[in-house]
Structure formats: C-alpha cells, structure tokens
Amino acid sequence: MSDISGTTVLVTGGASGIGLLTGQRLLAAGAAHLVIWDIDGQALDAVVSRMRDAGHTIDGLKIDITDLAEVREAARLMAHRGIAVDILVNNAGIIVGRDFASHSHDDIDRTMAINTTAPMHLTAELLPGMIARGRGHVVNIASAAGMIANPGMSVYCASKWAMTGWSDSLRLEMERGRTGVQVTTVMPYYIDTGMFAGVRSRLIPLLKPGHVASAIVDAIRDDRVVLRLPKLLDLLPFVRGILPARVFDKVAGDWFGVYDSMRTFTGRPR
C-alpha cells in the first residue's frame, strides 16, 4: 500500500483491542475513512460516536462475520454507497483456551469459522474491487500460534496455521498476477489484552497492544510480507526446522515455558 493517505480502511473486530488501536493509528497515518465491523453492538456504537466527535469519518456495522449472507449483504451495501475498501484488516478472532478433549463441536466450528473461514469469505467479496482498481492491501492477523503447536490452544493453532497458509498463498497469487494488491501476514506472540487474560510467559514478555498496532501500520506502509513480533520470532521457523521434534519440545517447553503458558489462561468473561 505504501501511501496510507486518503485510503478507506475496513477492520473486523475493530471495536476493541488490536483492531480498534490499528484503526485509530491508520486514521492518524492519513486514512480518510474507517469502517468497523464488530459483533459487539454496544462497544461499536460507543467507538463510532467517540471517533465521530473527534472529527473522523467512520462507519460501524454490527455483524456476525461467520454469517456469509450478512457479509455479502454488507459488502453489497458498501459498494452501493460508493465505499471502496483499500485496506482490509482481517482482525476478528476468538480462542477457547482448553485442551482439545474438552472442546465441544461448536467450539471447533466457531473457532475455525471466525479465525479462518470468515476472513477468506470477506476477502473474496472485496478482492475483485481491489484488483479492478489495481491497488489494495489485505492484512491478515494470524499468530505465532501459526508456527508452533501449544497445549491448551490446539484448535486456535489449527485456525492460525490455516490462516497463515492461505494468506501467504494469496500473496503469491497477487504478486504473480501483478494485481497491485499487497498481502501482509501478521504473526504476533501473546498480546496483553483481554483475549489472552491469565496467560503467563516465562522469558518472552507479553506484547503491548499499542506497539503491535503501530507495527502493523508500519508493515502496511512498507508492504511487509510477514510481520512477526517480537523480532525473536523471526528465528522460530529456522530453529523449529533444524531441531529434532523432541529437542525443540525441550527448548520451547522446558526452557521458554511456552507449553505451560496456557495453564493459567482465563480469557474474556463469557
């Protein structure tokens, strides 16, 4: 994307957390119009009111992104109103946070739908317009869990591994087709938000939300292919690739304590 000035941005799950901070920072970087999709209508209304009072052009839509009919109708209404999305931030996500044997079938389906399938469907709706205009940027918020297995988050890991594979494949297709559409895959460690409340990390500090949001904006501006946070995670694919599985388990589990990080997880109140 490089030049954020004057763009229209759509952020899913944008009424709180990283989604909200990223939207705010994109406006500060020069974006002209922010569109927020979120399932929490109360939080959405409060954010839209506050940001309009601050002089920003912002629209909010209460939507369940797992409902394809809702997604398609919302995309149609935006197109009818002349809202052409330049930057799509697929941010909405959930985590159940318990061992796989304790997951219900609904836990599995909903996690995969929100974290993986919904971003694909939404991108499929908006991508033709980006390609036709010869510009655009799709930002997919994956996770470090898309690179490493972890007890207590098996389905979440599965959803983020799938997101990572799809996102980078999409990037290659956009580049091969010389479409002008950029794709960035964001893979952060635990972020200090309500989503990961209770998580304990032995050696790697939890990421500060503001730092992550600013890094995402910089990645959009710089057309980054992959953004891993913290930078130490850039070594993870290499280390995981060269070490035998049991040795890697010892490093990640015993030394860094990653495999015990979800033992105290509480998450957001349900």
Is 156 catalytic? The answer is yes
Q: Considering only CA atoms, which of 176, 183, 159, 185 is closest in space to residue 237?
A: 185
**Cα-Cα-Cα-Cα dihedral sign, residues 171, 224, 121, 29:** negative
Distances (CA, A) of 62 to 36, 40, 122, 165, 241: 8, 7, 15, 29, 42
Q: Considering only CA atoms, which of 226, 188, 189, 186 is closest in space to residue 204?
A: 189
Determine contact, residues 116/162, Cβ cutoff 8 Å. yes
Q: For 61-105, give the DSSP string.
A: EE--TT-HHHHHHHHHHHHHTT---SEEEE-------S-GGG--H
Residue of 156, 189, 190, 259 marked catalytic: 156
N-to-C CA span, the chain: 37
> Across the chain, which distance is largest between two alpha carbons, in Å?
56
Q: For 116-152, give the DSSP string.
A: IIHHHHHHHHHHHHHHHHT-EEEEEE--GGGTS--TT
Burial group, residue 249, by CB count within 10 angstroms (0-12, 13-18, 19+): middle
Burial group, residue 147, by CB count within 10 angstroms (0-12, 13-18, 19+): middle
Cis peptide before 269 (omega within 30 of 0): no
Catalytic residue ranges: 156
